[in-house]
A and B are shown apart, each in its own frame.
Chain A
Amino acid sequence: MNGESGTVYTETVIYSAPEAFAADVPYQTAIVSLDSGGRVTGRILGGRVVIDDRVAEVEVRDGVPFFRKIA
């Protein structure tokens, strides 16, 4: 699904994380409604996003999609 784009359905910024993600705090996760259909939970890189923002997938790490806001 490289190159997927979509719309932020919901999001949060996490301040209290499990050990595996402690170094990333604070970080933003979002559920993205993909243009190709369906929803996926991913991480947000760069500036914070809000509901209805347009985002594009910029990379996939260990199966997890990372999105960035489309200006």
Chain B
Amino acid sequence: MRPVAVVGIGKTPFGAFPHRDLRSLAVEGGEKCLKNAHATPSQVEAVFLGNFAGPAFVGQNHLAPYVSTALGIQGVPATRVEAACASSGSAFFHAFNGVASGVYDIVLVAGVEKMTSQPTPRVTEILASAGDCAGEIKAGSTFASLFAMIARRHMYQFGTTREHLAAVAVKNHANGALNPDAHMRKPITMEQAMAGKPIADPLNLYDCSLISDGAAAVLLAPAERAHEFTDKPVRILGIAQASDFVALDQKPDITTFPAVRLASEKAYRMAGVRPTDIQLAELHDCFTIAEIIALEDLGFAPRGEGGPFSLEGHTARTGDKPVNTSGGLKSKGHPVGATGVAQICDLVLQMRCEAGERQVPRHSLGLAQNLGGSGATCVVTILGTI
């Protein structure tokens, strides 16, 4: 295994773009990334594309070469990776392995989702296909309801409150308001976050991430060649992917995500760092309870204490462990297949000191956690400045 660096990043804004199709979004992300890395399409040796449900959302399959050829990248292996909301995190993991092992030098990883062309009930149905369709989904579960059941149990076992959940939403909206590429640039108050329209008890509208269109891309290179592309390379110090049951009712304890624990333990060991060393993180806040549990599973907060940890402000931009300075999935937006790579882009922005108004002072060691489904896939990545 040789050291690997992120040498370019590119993202579309996230939002609802009725006049944009999936391919044009992916191409915009990819072109911005290549430009950012001063790279040409002919230098790219492989393409990995994260996408959850292009066939269901827009009726298009065979997406990787569909996107790569539109970017002017010809002939190379182009592979779509699907792992629900962790699709592009997984694409990133497989691309890393390709470069670290020496199979490839220069690899483009992109993620894309075009969701808003479908009405919300249909989007809910497509998202639900990431659950167990023979069991929980057949019974009427939605993803919000699965995380609502997780929240209920977390409240029962640890005393987590509605106020704890709301604190996560308020914090992520405050961050997203400073992100020019965020879907919803609107700060909210605790009162608003507590009183949102009910979605699945105890979760309301403000506990749920957004239905968005968008794309993101990163360019990977061996660290020894990073200087050919950028003077601000960011090293992948540790990365791991782990898996677990798809059905929530098969998990012995739904208040923790074993895949997050497994992936983070491996990533910490690989990077030679501890949870206390991490200076900032982009976590998978598909629902507010997911950020709270991620704080615990990643070792940032003791078990059961993720709620108070959030309410006390540790994870605020000005706190000792800033989480989701981008606004997170909650406010930045959650074009499902783009999210994992977008998290890497947002960390790299901070680590290059290019995050504008939301720049944090300590930014040399960052962690991204990308979750698929109700915890069946998790990818954890630890980035460091060289």
Q: How long is the Cα–Cα vector from A33 to B141 in the complex, in angstroms? A: 17
Residue of B whose beta carbon sits closest to that of A39: B249
Contacts of B150 in A (CB 8 A): 10
Categorize the interface residue count of chain B.
20 to 34
- B140: Cβ under 8 A from any A Cβ: yes
Contact of B121 among A13, A15, A18, A65 (CB under 8 A): A18
Q: How long is the Cα–Cα vector from A26 to B347 in the complex, in angstroms? A: 40
Q: How far is the CB of A61 from chain B (nearest CB, A)?
A: 10
Q: How long is the Cα–Cα vector from A15 to B196 in the complex, in angstroms? A: 12
Q: Are B140 and A13 in contact (CB under 8 A)?
A: no
Contact of B145 among A29, A40, A42 (CB under 8 A): A29
Interface of A is mostly: strand
Contact of A41 among B120, B121, B247 (CB under 8 A): B247
- B242: Cβ under 8 A from any A Cβ: no
Residue of B whose beta carbon sits closest to that of A48: B201
Contact of A39 among B140, B141, B250 (CB under 8 A): B250
Contacts of B148 in A (CB 8 A): 12, 14
Q: Could you tell me which residues of chain B, from 199 to 251, have a CB within 8 Å of some CB in chain A?
A: 199-203, 247-250
- A36: Cβ under 8 A from any B Cβ: no
A to B contact number (C-beta, < 8 Å): 92
Contacts of B141 in A (CB 8 A): 14, 29, 41
Q: Could you tell me which residues of chain A, from 10 to 62, have a CB within 8 Å of some CB in chain B?
A: 10-22, 24, 27, 29-31, 39-43, 51, 62
| A-side interface residues, number (CB < 8 Å) | 29
Contacts of A64 in B (CB 8 A): 138-140
Q: How far is the CB of B84 from chain A (nearest CB, A)?
A: 16
Q: How far is the CB of B361 from chain A (nearest CB, A)?
A: 40
- A63: Cβ under 8 A from any B Cβ: yes
Q: Are A10 and B152 in contact (CB under 8 A)?
A: yes
Q: How long is the Cα–Cα vector from A17 to B142 in the complex, in angstroms? A: 7
A residues within 8 Å of B by Cβ? 9-22, 24, 27, 29-31, 39-43, 51, 62-65
